[in-house]
Structure 1
Amino acid sequence: MKKEILVVDDQPGIRLLLQEIFTNQGYRVTTAKTGKEALDELNKSSYDLIMLDYKLPVVDGVEVIQQLERDKIEVPAILMSGLAEDIMKESQNYDMVKKVLAKPFNVKDVCDYTKSLIG
């Protein structure tokens, strides 16, 4: 069975890029534009990994992580941000956050890290 990844980013270009990369790697990919859409998806389906932008409209990435932890929904998350240094320390408070990626990111690094995390 294919592993499932939820890609959450308000920038269409990043969503499409990650969707194409992960689909080509053999994963099933669902996308969301906002944190609220992400939470809706996570409440109706289970995922093996979330690629989550830190700054999102409506509900931001950290609020998504906090809500998932409150609801006891455990799924590894990779947090993406243009301000990666600023969120490194904050992300250490959450067990779900396995990696913080700076934007722009290296596609090969994303593929390698994803593979090491979920196979």
Structure 2
Amino acid sequence: MQKKILVVDDQAGIRLLLTDLFTSKGYHVATATTGKEALEMINTSPFHLIIVDYRLPIYNGPEILDQLHQNEQEIPALLMSGLEESIKEEVSRYSQVKAVLTKPFDVDQMVEIVKSVIG
């Protein structure tokens, strides 16, 4: 079964890069530009992993995680940010956050993390 990844980022370049990268590795990739759009997609289709930007319009990364937790949807998540050190402590309370990646991120490292989380 093909694993499904949801990429949530308001930067088109990041969405395109991650879509191409993970599609080439055999994953099914869907994208959202806002937290609101991401939550709507998660409520209509199951995902094995969410790769989400910390700063987003409407709902930011932590707000998406809070909403998923309230809905008892414990989907593993990778959080991306340009401010890695300052958010690590804040997001450590989320059990579903498997890694925090600094933008720009290392593509090979991201692939390894995704493989370790969902196979």
Shared fold, TM over 0.5: yes
User: Shorter-chain TM-score category?
Assistant: over 0.9
Q: Distance in 2 between matches of 1:95 and 1:110?
A: 19
For 1:44-59, list aligned pairs within 5 A: 44-59=44-59
What SS does the corresponding residue of 1:58 show, helix, strand or coil? coil
Q: CA RMSD in A?
A: 0.4
What SS does the corresponding residue of 2:6 show, helix, strand or coil? strand
Q: Does 1:36 align with 2:30?
A: no
AA at the equivalent of 1:32 = A
TM-score (norm 1): 0.99
Task: Output one character per residue of 1:36-85: Cα deviation in whole Å (capped at 9) or x when no partner.
Answer: 00000010011000000000001111100000000000110000000011
For 1:41-80, list aligned pairs within 5 A: 41-80=41-80
TM-score (norm 2): 0.99
- Match for residue 96 of structure 2? 96
Q: Distance in 2 between matches of 1:98 and 1:113?
A: 8
**Structure 1 residue runs of 4 or more that deviate by more than 2 Å after TM superposition:** none
Percent pairwise identity? 54
AA at the equivalent of 2:48 = D
Q: Does 1:112 align with 2:118?
A: no
Structure 1 spans left out of the alignment, 5+ residues: none
Q: Distance in 2 between matches of 1:77 and 1:87?
A: 14
AA at the equivalent of 2:82 = G
